[in-house]
Every structure is written in C-alpha cells, then in structure tokens.
Amino acid sequence: MGSGLAVGIDLGTTTSLASVCMPDGQPRLLRDAQGHGIIPSVVSILPDGRILVGQRAKERLVLDPENTFFSTKRFIGRDMRQEENSWAATAYPFRIYAGENGVPMVRAHGREYTLTDVAGMILAYLKKVAEQATGLPVPQAVITVPANFNDVQRTTTRQAGERAGFEVLRIINEPTAAALAYGLERRGENERIAVYDFGGGTFDMTILELRGQVYEVLATAGNTLLGGDDFDRRIFDRMAKAFEAQTGLHPRENREFHQRMFLAAERIKCQLSDWLVAGFTERGVEIAGRRVDFQFEMSREQFNEACGDLVDMSFDVCDEALRMADCTLTSIDQVILVGGTTRIPLLRERVTKYFLRPPLDKIQPDTVVSLGAGIHAFSLAGGPKMWPLPAAARAAAEASAGPA
C-alpha cells in the first residue's frame, strides 16, 4: 500500500460523504471548508470549463439547470439506448443521451462528458475535502455501491474513482458497509440482518448473514427507479397543480421558478419529517408576461396520502428479497435503516410494522454507509499504521474531521 490515508466514500444519488478512521479505529465524517459533511451529488459546469461540486453547484440548479447535473448515479453504467432508461431521463432539466455503445452522456457549454466523468468530479471533490480536513495525502479509497449494481456499474464506479486520482482499494456493497458501521461482527454471533436502504434515487433490500465475523449476502432485491427523488416529484406535482389553480399558468413557463419550486419540494419533504405542516411562498413571480403570487402548504397527513404508495412499493422489494434468501420475517434478527429517505415518519412506522421489530437507529441513516466504508478502508490500509503522524498532529486532524 502507498503512504497516506485511505478514505471511505458513499457515492450517493443525491448526496455523497467521506469518512476516515482515526488511530483509535473510530470513524469520523469529514467536512468541507463550509462545514458540510453531507455533500450534494451535484456538478455544475461553468462557461469557462470550471467545475463546481456540492452545495455551490446545487445553488446553480436554479440559475443554470441545463449545465448542472444531479441524480446521475441513477444512470451510471446503464445503456441509454434502452427505452426505460431514455424515458426516465426525460424527467431532468438537462439532457442525458446515448453515446457510443449506449454510454450515458451529458453536454455542457458544447463539451461532452460521460457520467463516469461526472462521478469522477464528485469523487475528486471528496478527495480534496479529505486532504484538507486531515492535512494528509489521501491516495486510497473504498467506494460503496448498491448491492444490486451489476459488473458494468461496479467497473464504471471504480473507473470514476481512478479518474479522481484514487487507488480504489475495493468496491463494497452499501449494506455491508452499513453493517460494519454498527460493528455487529464484533459480537461474534450468527445473525441475519435486513438492510433497508432507501436513498435518493434507488431502493434496495439486502439480507445479510453474519457468521462470526464474516458477512455473506444471501439476497438483494431493488428498484433502481424508486427513491427519495420520487417523493420530491409527488410534492412538486401537487405544487404545480396548486399553482395552475391559483394563476391559470404552469410553472414550467418560468424555468428558474420551476426549478425553485422543485428545490422547495425537497425542502418540504425534509421539513415534514419534523413538522406537521410545511410550505412555500413566493411573491411577484414573472411568468407569461404577468406578475403573480404563489402560496402552497402541505400537512404531514397530505404528504402521507400523496406518497404512501411509494413506501408500499418498497415492501414489494422486501418480499422479493426474503423469497430469494428463503427467509421469513421471524428469522430476521436485526434491521438497519440506510438513506435519508428513512427519516420519514410514515416510512419508519411501516418498517417497524412490516419487520415486526423496530430498526436499529443509533447511527444516522444518511451517514452509516460512509462510516462503515471508512472502517473498511482503515482495515485494508493497515489500521493505525496508516497514520504517519505524532500524537499531537493526530489530535489536530481528528478535530478538523469533526464528529460523525
């Protein structure tokens, strides 16, 4: 292994995170210069070719939606000549099209990029975050992928890591990383673990069998076109209907306002995990030669009504995974939640009812995969020996990384 640290990366559909283990073996989430540990998986290309990643890129979703790319993980390694992929891509304000052999491509300011390039830009940003947070070179990475990613998607993810300048130590399944974060293998027991992973763009259900300290994937099932983004779209659809009812206009007639509404839909979804009512108000919107006001409010009950079927769709996948693993619900010993979507109260209620037990919730569901990947990277890179620093410098690096 080379000198320097190894980082664990959760390369997600809507957000990406990087973690590193400290010399004591405890994983820490790394934060960028603005203090963000959960980095939007958004890339914006400027006219001069400069690349923005993360929160600064997300802020350009309104200003320049045609050259700002998000949720591209949904299409990485896919053949864009297939109808289901080309149809799904029409939901985005930027164009995803088939390059040579169906490779998914995007274009910005006359330049073409593969989605491998876009993923590499996100990973390069996380590499920079890790090096700035620790003050050390970070040449190596463990990168996680959904358990149902095929060989092409895994190879594409590895290539993206290499383009970012990493030696990719291993591509590991997100459910395995989540289980590693909980350290269930340290108990030395034999258990069956259900990992319910509802991310921004995909839903996966994986059954792991733990024997001693070894995890085996018994089965995984997934829906690659079901994720938190779909909840956002349900809210947006209601917002758009309300806007038409109030004004007689459609929000798409003002591109920037249309995108602001979509961002507001995501914000409302998140707020309704804590609040009973959330909303969006904008005054003086210029659209179709008119200036109009718009006000929208949604209760948690209305949200549940609009999105309950999306939650139910996840249990169809769970049923499939259990059948594939030849398991029953009563044979499941632990349930782990992964992904920010699992913060939704309705979802947690139905998960508890479905699995006949409450899920583990000691670790935040949107950081658990990254933390587990950090633990695995630490192990592969030699444990405490990968820290080539005296104790004082180690303490400074740990402080800059911040708590998980």
Of 32, 64, 117, 174, catalytic: 174
Strands (E), 22-166: 27-29, 39-40, 42-45, 51-53, 68-70, 97-98, 104-108, 111-114, 140-145
341 in helix, strand or coil? helix
Alpha-carbon gap, residue 104 to 144, rounded angstroms: 21
Of 32, 58, 64, 73, catalytic: 73
Nearest to 163 by CA among 104, 201, 115: 115
Describe the strand order of the beta sheet including 111-114 as a list of residue ranges: 97-98, 104-108, 111-114
Neighbouring C-alpha atoms within 13 Å toward the C-beta of 209: 10
Alpha-carbon gap, residue 373 to 142, rounded angstroms: 6
The Cβ of residue 51 has, within 10 Å, a number of other Cβ atoms equal to 17
309 is catalytic: no
197 is catalytic: yes
Task: Specify whether the CB–CB gap between 187 and 178 falls below 8 A.
Answer: no
Task: Specify whether the CB–CB gap between 167 and 124 falls below 8 A.
Answer: no
Of 10, 266, 366, 398, catalytic: 10
Q: Is 281 exposed, middle or buried (0-12, 13-18, 19+ CB in 10 A)?
A: exposed
73 is catalytic: yes
Alpha-carbon gap, residue 7 to 376, rounded angstroms: 9
32 is catalytic: no
Of 117, 197, 229, 230, catalytic: 197
Q: Hey, what are 113's tokens?
A: 């990029």
What are the residue numbers of the active site?
A: 10, 73, 174, 197
